[in-house]
Homo-oligomer: A and B are copies of this chain.
């Protein structure tokens, strides 16, 4: 199950899928990078789809672990900004996310359901958090559902913008500042952090 070989293959696959997308990536390319043959890869992951799903799980696990390791100072806006910065320090994650999301748009890809559910649950979690904290309407004047959608859209958009045209230092602060405005003044004392990307 957790053999070292498996991990090596997963890491190689992360790079390849990030660099070429799901359709563009070939098992051969993954195998070559991992130092074995296509059939060796297929021994661990019975199909290309299963390989992709394993990558998505890995990405989510590592991302969660990273955020869990931060001090829980409750600065929720800063946490989200850090999540964005984290992905920028690990471009493969960001690229896999972006490419998979786009292929989910197309609808018939293996990860379509995964992406859809994730989008829903993130909005729900954030909306619930905002409602609990501020009631129906935030200091900025936006309603909680609108603000939740706007914040997540902002993050997603910044994400892609960065991938297309990287200026590393710029984007995390854009997220932080814009989010602060979207939620409203004096949000820096926000409470517990909700589930996140």
Contact = CB atoms under 8 A, between A and B. Distances in A.
B146 A105 contact: no
A184 B41 CA distance: 54
A106 B21 contact: yes
Contact of A178 (B116, B142, B158, B177): B142
A160 B106 contact: no
A12 interface: no
Interface residues of A, number: 48
A34 B164 CA distance: 33
A191 interface: no
A95 interface: yes
Contacts of A161: 119, 149, 152-153, 156
A39 interface: no
A104 B141 CA distance: 36
A169 interface: no
27 contacts: A21-B102, A21-B103, A21-B106, A95-B106, A101-B160, A105-B160, A105-B163, A115-B164, A116-B164, A116-B165, A142-B178, A146-B173, A146-B178, A147-B178, A149-B158, A149-B170, A150-B158, A150-B174, A150-B177, A150-B178, A153-B156, A153-B158, A154-B157, A154-B178, A156-B160, A157-B157, A157-B158
Given A101-B164, A119-B165, 16 more contacts: A21-B102, A21-B106, A98-B102, A99-B103, A101-B160, A102-B103, A102-B160, A141-B181, A142-B181, A147-B178, A150-B154, A153-B157, A153-B174, A156-B157, A156-B160, A182-B182
